[in-house]
Structures are given as C-alpha cells and as structure tokens.
Amino acid sequence: MVLEVIVLSYYTILGTLGIVLNATLLYLSIFRSPSQIKTYRILIINFALTDMFSSFLMMFIAPRVIPLDLAMAHIFYGLCHYAGPFLCYASYSSLLHLFMHSMWSLLLSFAYRNYILSNGPPSSFKLFMCAVLFYIPSFIQFIVFTFTAGDPHTILNMLRVKFPDYELDITTITGITDVLSPAATFSILNITLPVFPIYTAILIFRRKILKKLGKNTEHLRTETRNIHKQLLKALTLQACLPILFTGGVFLFFLQAIRLITHPILECLICAIPAPIPLLSSIISLYHIRPYRQALLRLFTRITMPIPTKEHHSSAVVLAPKHKISVLSASRLHRLSIPNNS
C-alpha cells in the first residue's frame, strides 16, 4: 500500500508539472513565436502536444512492469484502475507510441533545421504533412501493441506462481502472455530497432547544421543566426533525454534474467524515463529566447505589480542641509547635490 501511494504521488507530481509547462509552451508557440520561427513552431506545437499527453497518461496509469520469462505483467496504480484493464493497457500503449513519436519528431526537427539553412523554409502545410507522415510508424505501433493484451486472469495466475508474496488483489493487472507472438514481436521491434538509425541520422544532421552555421552565414542576420543556434542547442539537449530509457531497460534486463527482483525495481523501469516530457518542455522554455523572455515578462508583472494612482502624487524631498527639490514619485528627474568643497 505504501509503495502504491509513493508511485501514484510521483507520477501525479510529474504529470501535473508536465501538463502545466507543456501547456505554457503550447501557448507561447502559438501566440509568441517570432517571425523567424513561424513555420518551425508547427514542430514545437507537435512536441508540446506530444509531451503534454504523455504527462497526462503517465499520471493516469502510473505503471509498474514485471518480467515473467516469456510473458510480461503490467500493474496500474493510476485512475485508469477504475476504468478496467483494457483502458489501462490501451493508455499504456498510447504512452509508448507517444515516446516513439517524440523520437521521430526529433529527427524531423533536425532535418528541418538542416534543410532551411540551404533552401529556405517550406510552407506550413508541407511541414504539417511531414509531421503527419512521421507519425504513421508510431500510430501503427499503437494499434498493434494495444491488441497484444493478454487475459488479466492468466497474467494474475502467472504472477501468483512466480511471486506468491505479492499483494495483487487491489490493483489492475494486465500484460502480454507471449512476447514471441507476431503482434508482440512486431511492437517490440518497432520500439527498439529504429533507435540506432534515428540517432545516427540526428548526429549526421547536427554535424551538417554546425558546418553551415560556421561558414555560409553571411546571408543570415545576427538575430536569425542566434535563433538557429538556440534551437539547435535545445534539440541537442532534448536528443540526450532518451538516454534515461537505458536505465529502465537495464533494470528490466536484470529482473528478466532473475539476477535481482524487487517491487521497487519493477516500478523504476517506467519511473526512470518518466521525467522526459517535463524536462523536454523546460529545455524549450529556457533555450528558446523569445519564450524565455515572455515568461520573464509575465513573472515580472506578477511579482512587481504596477503602482496605484495615489503613488503618482508629487512629493517634496529635502536634501539634508542644502536645498529642496520637487520630485515626482513616478519618475525621478534630477536631484541636485552641491559640491561640499
């Protein structure tokens, strides 16, 4: 029970912060994007929506993964518990496909930045259609993986045999009864195989972008060149975030070979990469200067309210031992102080 409360609290905090920050990024990308990134904001909106829904789903399902030889159990502590096993598993499948879509979106973003340095920006419609095209592999994975769900009673019986000491009566349980089935194999390969070529392509595009920014930039204004560098830095940091998945994969492997098993480690399989949507939004809000400035202006208005009218009345200020100057409380024009010498 204590573990359930901790896991649910962890995902609730991460999910809430992720939703708020990604909603902020979504607003800024729609209404506060400078002219230099009017087209690119389509990809920023894509990131914000993807990460915002990922944050919600993590909070909604609060997953725990248990390897079972050639099967896999999923325990859900979130609100989906009240809707039944199928909705929980479909939400988990949706979360996985959003993570994969985020990775494909990174590749598209690097390709776009490389393209416009030589050809100029494409139309918004063309970029939108490219984003839709890059979404197709993830959507197919979502459909296929959703129907890999096994019978909850079968999964529960397998858990009771393997882990008789686990308390399993108050949670929603589902999973995959055979990871070697065609649907499960396709889904697993679709999640794992594209990672290497995607990151290879990202590194190639990044190298090309740096070369172009370092050489043929005479036609770019200083402000435009700086925005290119800001976006490239943000994308590079976001491309490093999926390394958190390696922690979850490593723990899954340790428990799959029965080297070590523990409920906390089972929860950490998904908990380690869970901050990715939150961190991604923070990177964008901080490293994209127009968005950072907009947030600072908003924060300044909140913390330093505009003075009320009564504060604008004139006042008489006496400079000690010398002279009287009439000052305005709203604007200090001049204070004459005679030379003591």
Query: Are 50 and 169 found together in one domain?
Result: yes
Query: Are 145 and 56 found together in one domain?
Result: yes
Q: Which range (38-52, 293-307, 318-332) has the least confidence?
A: 318-332
SS3 225: helix
Please report the pLDDT score of residue 334 as a whole number. Answer: 41
Query: Are 190 and 50 found together in one domain?
Result: yes
Query: Are 232 and 340 found together in one domain?
Result: no
- Residue 54 in this model has a pLDDT that exceeds 80: yes
Query: Are 212 and 328 found together in one domain?
Result: no
Angle at CA of residue 32, ends 117 and 129, nearest 5°: 55
pTM of the model: 0.83
- Residue 257 in this model has a pLDDT that exceeds 80: yes
The parent domain of residue 58 ranges over: 2-301
Longest Cα separation, the chain:
96
Describe the crossing of helices 195-214 and 222-240 by its angle, rounded to 10 degrees: 160
- Residue 284 in this model has a pLDDT that exceeds 50: yes
Query: Are 52 and 193 found together in one domain?
Result: yes
Q: Could you tell me the two tokens for 300?
A: 């300044």
* Per-residue pLDDT tens over the stretch 132-142: 999 999 999 99
Q: Which range (29-33, 58-62, 259-263, 321-325) has the least confidence?
A: 321-325
Q: Could you tell me the two tokens for 23?
A: 């909603």
Give the chain's domain count: 2
Rounded CA separation 274/92 (Å): 12
Query: Are 71 and 182 found together in one domain?
Result: yes
| Average pLDDT of span 328-335 | 41
Rounded CA separation 289/107 (Å): 22
| Average pLDDT of span 151-176 | 88
